[in-house]
Structure 1
């Protein structure tokens, strides 16, 4: 017998992104509970961009 539960599982996320929700409406517009600037700051801090690894200016920013 299969259970038919409609309980939504909450995915595990980084503590800094707690409460982050993203929706796409019927017109294809994306809405988010966080501002784009906050998302970009998180990604810049936590994700290594392999295209920018060997650039001189990106190394200087990391030293600061």
Structure 2
């Protein structure tokens, strides 16, 4: 699955630039977290740690 700019999962999503794609994925990982999905949990935990290291801690 891919992530649209509206942060929805879809079969195909395209972006005008790599930077925009990265921003959407970053937002998806930061804002959407499925605790039942072990891959999602790992990505969310890693993203939260990186944000905290950069002085931007997020609530869990």
Instruction: Establish whether TM, by shorter chain, passes 0.5.
Output: no
Give the structure, 1 or 2, with the largest relative contact order (CA under 8 Å, sep 6 or more).
Answer: 2
Larger Rg, first or second structure (1 or 2): 1
> Which structure's residues are more often helix, by fraction?
2
TM-score (normalised: structure 2): 0.33
